């Protein structure tokens, strides 16, 4: 009876063992789940990293290929530039040689030209000195005498009336030109249209006051050096004489055409008066 109790006591299990086994099983299952999840995440991460690595590798390969192409192109360009540089250098050497030669030829030509010009100048001076003999001087004198003779003949041919001062009176534009050619006086032609309209003529001012067309007469006011005087009923081709201060030869106004409401003529100024007036102006300044 005692042995039977012992056997029965050994075969019975403790009450806590079963829950412990269950807990351990649950822990094991949880560990397996966690491990499986971590393994899945690790696989996904590996795949992602592998894909990125592959993409990066492809990009690097493309960049390397492009870099190689550029390097090859640069090498080709460099080779072309070196070839062009060599050609230019060779041409430059030729050009420098030609330039040096041209300069030498220019120097020689300049020297030769200078010698020729010097020789020509000497020759011209010699010829001029040889030709300037007494015979040539006589020829020149003869020509001068001829010019004087022609001038005297021209004066005799001028069939013009003379004023009381001995001046020739021109009756038209052609005769005024003939007087100009004598070179003794300056002539300023004018035409005044309308009455009471002062007009500057040379160094005086002329103002038409009246006209008697039937009698070829006119009346005019003349202003000289701020002095005004009137000449009434003057005949056509009748000179009006006046003196400027500091002069001894009179100037004259001649009207050689009288119209309905206009007069035409000229102002005659001696050459000596122009010189005297210029000298007086300089001394006054």
Kindly report, residue by residue over 20-76, the tens digit of the pLDDT: 777 777 787 777 777 777 777 777 777 887 788 788 778 877 878 787 888 888 778
What are the Cα distances from residue 41, in Å, to 46, 48, 50, 97, 181?
A: 8, 10, 14, 82, 128
- For residue 8 the two structure tokens come to 């029965």
DSSP code per residue over 227-270: EEEEEEEEETT--EEE--TT-SS-EEEEEEEE-SSEEEEEEEEE
What are the Cα distances from residue 26, in Å, to 33, 38, 40, 173, 215?
A: 10, 18, 21, 148, 161
* pTM for this prediction: 0.43
Share of the chain above pLDDT 90, in %: 29
Residue 223 CB contacts under 8 Å (≥ 6 apart), including other chains: 198, 204, 205, 207
Residue boundaries of the structural domains of the chain: 185-284
Which has the higher per-residue pLDDT, 126 or 211? 211
Mean pLDDT of the chain: 76
What are the Cα distances from residue 148, in Å, to 141, 153, 158, 245?
A: 11, 8, 15, 33
Which pLDDT tens digit goes with each residue over 96-150?
Answer: 666 677 666 656 655 666 666 576 667 655 655 565 555 554 554 555 455 555 5
Burial class, 165, CB count within 10 angstroms (exposed 0-12 / middle 13-18 / buried 19+): exposed
């Amino acid at each position: 009876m005692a042995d039977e109790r012992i056997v029965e006591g050994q075969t019975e299990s403790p009450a806590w063992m079963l829950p412990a086994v269950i807990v351990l099983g649950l822990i094991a299952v949880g560990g397996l789940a966690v491990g499986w999840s971590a393994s899945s995440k690790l696989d996904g991460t590996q795949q992602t990293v592998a894909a990125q690595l592959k993409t990066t590798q492809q990009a690097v390969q493309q960049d390397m290929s492009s870099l190689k192409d550029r390097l090859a192109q640069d090498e080709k360009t460099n080779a072309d530039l070196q070839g062009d540089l060599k050609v230019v250098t060779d041409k430059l050497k030729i050009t420098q040689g030609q330039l040096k030669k041209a300069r030498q030829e220019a120097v020689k030509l300049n020297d030769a030209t200078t010698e020729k010009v010097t020789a020509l100048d000497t020759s011209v001076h010699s010829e001029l000195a040889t030709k300037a003999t007494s015979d040539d001087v006589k020829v020149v004198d003869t020509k001068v005498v001829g010019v004087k003779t022609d001038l005297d003949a021209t004066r005799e041919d001028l069939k013009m009336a003379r004023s009381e001062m001995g001046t020739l009176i021109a009756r038209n534009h052609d005769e005024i030109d003939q007087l100009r050619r004598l070179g003794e006086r300056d002539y300023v032609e004018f035409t005044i249209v309308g009455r009471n309209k002062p007009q500057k003529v040379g160094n005086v001012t002329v103002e038409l006051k009246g006209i008697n067309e039937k009698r070829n007469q006119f009346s005019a006011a003349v202003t000289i050096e701020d002095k005004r005087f009137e000449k009434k009923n003057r005949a056509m081709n009748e000179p009006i004489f006046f003196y400027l201060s500091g002069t001894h030869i009179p100037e004259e106004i001649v009207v050689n055409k009288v119209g309905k409401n206009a007069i035409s003529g000229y102002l005659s100024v001696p050459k000596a008066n122009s010189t005297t007036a210029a000298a007086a102006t300089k001394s006054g300044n």
